Structure 1
């Protein structure tokens, strides 16, 4: 033994602790609630083979391309047609939706999104070609109008000399007529200021899809000081039923008769948890923006992978593209929609209405339960399902090429979607609500892998730079594990500052728990 009593004390403290000195530890709960496996039946029949083909070729969960495709489908339908969820009331829902796909880097979020947005990009490409042709024709018409204007000036002068003011006025009015400039149909945009987005919406009253590869950049941009009006705009444009007016120096007044925005993007768990944690604490994100991202999925990533190298399913792809093209040109009257208001709308049939009313009654009672232990942010998320079920039911109905009221199968699909999405929402909000649980799993994983030796100090963990184990998370994590009897600390005198050593239960290191 070392002759120095201080060094000897440290060596004794750092020696492995006998197993019999530890009581049995409590089990560590799963890191997050389970996520149900995606069921192809949630999708309209016309989309199922295509989405399955994408998921197999990309080797990603079906959840990813499915959510992207449904969001894109809603953006194409936009304000062409809506749904009245009540039997008689004029409450109107437009089927534009917001979605997000959650996963760590490298799980193929971006490729899945790219594949599922191809029909939208095809429509965008066709619209651009049409616009370029129309713009060419417009330039020719403009030259003709200029020539006609010069001729009209001579006619005006001649009529004026004859004091024939009626003829002069007629020529003047004719000279003022100019060809109407073509407007390019836009379906999607990736990176835009909110002012430019307003101009796009002014010219595209059906709505536009904002597609972001990384949603965290979009969220943080809206959090910046001075961007409050942009945040307010997105909050307003989520419902798809309102109008918005900008008054800006330089741009003047921009009147948007139809402020309808759809949203899709990918996000990593860490930034998402950070953002939601601020919302749960009543921070800048506590305004319902995150809760509007209703189609939010965070699927489990299996360990299985195989190299799939084959041609895409041509028939499935063609059917999906044809579906998008068909819903880009809806004849609402032919579908039986009520065109009494600006937005034509369908209603549920009698059986579907009964199912929806029963489902909504149960939802409303849950939202108003005074004994609920759910966090307010999660309750707010569920409240948005009121409009999500009718939106998804309408999309399912339209994609199935049905005419007349929205039927039982469609509303059942919408409800099944929301049951599926609620499970994912529990995972998303649970991770933000209990960050110490995720940190505890990460710490024990590092210990079992040998990335960290025991006993250890908090400083040693900090120096590793592990994101999930920053100072705040680690402190809460160690307290949590101590309460479970999985770690314990020991204060050691070093002749200077006291040193806190953390010992780990042997059963934890053996992977017994």
Structure 2
């Protein structure tokens, strides 16, 4: 007699493999009239029934003293949850003997049907019940699999094992509900509880749908019963405030609000680029010294950004706001063409005069050379006569070389060398305008563009000078290196940029220079309106920009500016007495707030408001001076209060922008939570439903989805950790199929989340 020692559950265990290799498919001789085995063969399950070609004695698992005699027995092949042979159930045909399992410690089931993830799995405690349930449901056209615990005492372990892979359905009656369900709470199991036995209901010609729709039928999700109620992941953007009428001089506010109403956009989309453009026009003509005695000076060049989704109309808004400076660009171009034509005309005249003068010079030189000392009289030629004629010729040629230079207010995509050349020719600074800032910011992150990055960083201050070295073309000296920047950007692109740049050691304050940065709430969708342009405010703002463009020292002095001198190269304002006291108190409070701020990025941004607020106050004060047309003295308290109100408003927008890094964990969790809820809303999506809701998922599979904001390991793990904390997910380790492999880390979705839909 051969003895086979079955001690391990794996499919490739030599004992089980050898044993199965010594069996053959069951014949009718051994089963005779056995109802169970004949029914299984009729259902196409005969390949799972084996008989032994010899007489074996099998050690019963770890219970070494127990032996199973296989003589005259049928072996039922029992599978694990991966559909691998894991056990044998030794069955005696035509007998009431209990089926003996070779290794009771290894969970396994006799599978009726195909153990596929696309079928519905039912678990039962006996072969007779499994056969009848399979027959009934198959006849109803359902795709089902029956998991039979051939020994009813092993039922709970079997269900637990198979529920690791897919949801298992169990059935019971109201009388037996606690006995069946309590041991299975917390497993991926659904219980169907009926008044009468489910099979008896089928005897009454009811379908499964009929039974499930019965008023007394109860369906319990035993997995959900073990879960805590999920907590809401309410990551909303921090609130922001908006611009009000007291924050802008009247002509600017009227222009901005009319434009915003016509486009149906937040006023910030118009007001910010409008003020940035005006500040760039004022440029380096005048400065403000905020302190009473210190020579800290600020010119009103600003960096601004409008943040909105592609459908938010940010580009049309910026375009409308830029029209006053576009008007200056058009006028400057027209003036340049006129000056160029005048220069060409004068050059022709000068060339003609020079040719005549050169002939006259030669004639004078010949006369001087031929005359003698005895020559006298009024026709005598002297060296002074030659010098005067030569000077006239040289002056004509110098006029020809004085080619008109176009006044440049604004540039687009441009190299640093060309920008330096334009700044060299335009002493008032220039506005860098980009409809989409993401490309501009990305270009400055390249290793090859670090010189250009430094060029922009230094141009932010607006009060210094710069030398630009050009390969093969010498160097250019920029007396007033003053750059303004304005553009739009999409929230997701800005978020990606901030995540990539602000966390590292390379934060050099580039982003914090965008002090005029707004991310307003979108307006509620409205019925389309047809609103007329406010021509009065438009004309007033156009004239205001023209006046600002034409400011000069004498005019500024008439408004109350201090004149330039040997120490200060430009006129400057200081605050009026009452405004000075308010500013100093505000400045102290600003620095205290920055010191108390937890996040360094926000602290750096706040500190730059120390430059922003005086610059805005200067712009607003100059608007008042131009509007009134007379001396107003130092920068007024009203102008300062409007500027401080801007600072308060901009701070709320700044906190919203930086929330993607200061509240990064909840933002990532919010992104993932939305995707999970979308899956729960799509029960017909078999791929998502199988792989995620019923089967769980891995961090790797989540990353491979390549969802926005969840594309790197850190973001994925952050989102998972928060959702576990908020009871949206649970974390388990699942054994691998092979020997020696590490367990797979899987995440399971809280079934109670269906209540969130």
* Aligned: 1:182 with 2:376: no
Spell out the pairing of 1:222-371 with structure 2 (5 A cutoff): 222-284=444-506, 286-330=507-551, 331-340=555-564, 341-367=568-594, 369=595
Cross-structure match for 2:657: 428
Q: Provide Cα deviations, 1:426-445, integer angstroms capped at 9, x if missing partner.
A: 11122123333222112222
Spell out the pairing of 1:114-129 with structure 2 (5 A cutoff): 114-129=319-334
Pick the aligned partner of 2:749 from 497, 504, 510: 504
SS of equivalent to 2:432: strand
Give how far 1:189 is off. 1.0
SS of equivalent to 2:517: strand
SS of equivalent to 2:559: coil
User: Partners in 1 of 2:645 and 2:412 — Cα distance?
Assistant: 30
User: Partners in 1 of 2:601 and 2:251 — Cα distance?
Assistant: 35
Give how far 1:271 is off. 2.4
Q: Provide Cα deviations, 1:342-380, integer angstroms capped at 9, x if missing partner.
A: 21111111111111010001112233x3xx352222211
Spell out the pairing of 1:128-143 with structure 2 (5 A cutoff): 128-143=333-348
Bigger shift: residues 131-140 or 419-428: 419-428
User: Partners in 2 of 1:34 and 1:409 — Cα distance?
Assistant: 27
Bigger shift: residues 50-59 or 452-461: 452-461
User: Partners in 2 of 1:34 and 1:41 — Cα distance?
Assistant: 21
SS of equivalent to 1:105: coil
* Aligned: 1:481 with 2:702: no
Could you say what the CA RMSD is over the residues aligned between the two structures, in angstroms? 2.2
Pick the aligned partner of 1:52 from 229, 254, 257: 257
Pick the aligned partner of 1:215 from 437, 446, 456: 437
Give how far 1:26 is off. 4.1
User: Partners in 1 of 2:675 and 2:268 — Cα distance?
Assistant: 30
* Aligned: 1:490 with 2:732: yes
Alignment check: 8 A CA contact 1:274 1:432 kept? no
Bigger shift: residues 321-330 or 486-495: 486-495
Q: Relative to structure 1, is the Cα distance of residues 87 and 508 closer, same or farther in structure 2, using a 3 angstrom cutoff? A: farther
Structure 2: state its 5+ residue gaps: 1-76, 83-161, 168-186, 190-220, 370-381, 683-687
Alignment check: 8 A CA contact 1:36 1:423 kept? yes
Cross-structure match for 2:711: 470
User: Partners in 2 of 1:46 and 1:507 — Cα distance?
Assistant: 57
Pick the aligned partner of 2:391 from 173, 178, 181: 173
Bigger shift: residues 317-326 or 287-296: 317-326
The two structures have a TM-score, normalised by structure 2, of 0.64
Cross-structure match for 2:119: none
Rg comparison, structure with higher value: 2
Alignment check: 8 A CA contact 2:496 2:709 kept? no
User: Partners in 2 of 1:176 and 1:303 — Cα distance?
Assistant: 69
Alignment check: 8 A CA contact 1:201 1:208 kept? yes
User: Partners in 1 of 2:79 and 2:490 — Cα distance?
Assistant: 51
Q: Relative to structure 1, is the Cα distance of residues 301 and 499 closer, same or farther in structure 2, using a 3 angstrom cutoff? A: farther
Higher relative contact order (CA 8 A, sep 6+): 1
Bigger shift: residues 475-484 or 398-407: 398-407
Bigger shift: residues 132-141 or 270-279: 270-279
Q: Provide Cα deviations, 1:189-231, integer angstroms capped at 9, x if missing partner.
A: 1111111111111121111111101111111111222222211
SS of equivalent to 2:487: strand
Alignment check: 8 A CA contact 1:32 1:438 kept? no
User: Partners in 1 of 2:422 and 2:271 — Cα distance?
Assistant: 26
Alignment check: 8 A CA contact 2:560 2:634 kept? yes
SS of equivalent to 2:709: helix
Spell out the pairing of 1:21-36 with structure 2 (5 A cutoff): 21-36=226-241
Cross-structure match for 1:445: 674
Alignment check: 8 A CA contact 1:45 1:400 kept? no
User: Partners in 1 of 2:244 and 2:80 — Cα distance?
Assistant: 66
Give how far 1:499 is off. 4.4
Spell out the pairing of 1:82-97 with structure 2 (5 A cutoff): 82-97=287-302
Alignment check: 8 A CA contact 1:6 1:493 kept? no
SS of equivalent to 2:241: coil
User: Partners in 1 of 2:420 and 2:494 — Cα distance?
Assistant: 27
Alignment check: 8 A CA contact 1:97 1:238 kept? yes
Alignment check: 8 A CA contact 2:515 2:605 kept? yes
Pick the aligned partner of 1:103 from 308, 325, 329: 308
User: Partners in 1 of 2:603 and 2:385 — Cα distance?
Assistant: 70
Cross-structure match for 1:411: 640
Flag the structure with higher strand content. Answer: 2
Alignment check: 8 A CA contact 2:621 2:635 kept? yes
Alignment check: 8 A CA contact 1:156 1:169 kept? no
Alignment check: 8 A CA contact 1:447 1:509 kept? no
Alignment check: 8 A CA contact 1:46 1:400 kept? no
The count of corresponding residues between Structure 1 and Structure 2 is: 507
SS of equivalent to 1:495: coil
User: Partners in 1 of 2:522 and 2:599 — Cα distance?
Assistant: 27
The two structures have a TM-score, normalised by structure 1, of 0.93
Pick the aligned partner of 1:392 from 592, 610, 616: 616
User: Partners in 1 of 2:752 and 2:436 — Cα distance?
Assistant: 40
Bigger shift: residues 488-497 or 221-230: 488-497
Pick the aligned partner of 1:156 from 357, 361, 373: 361
Alignment check: 8 A CA contact 1:240 1:258 kept? yes
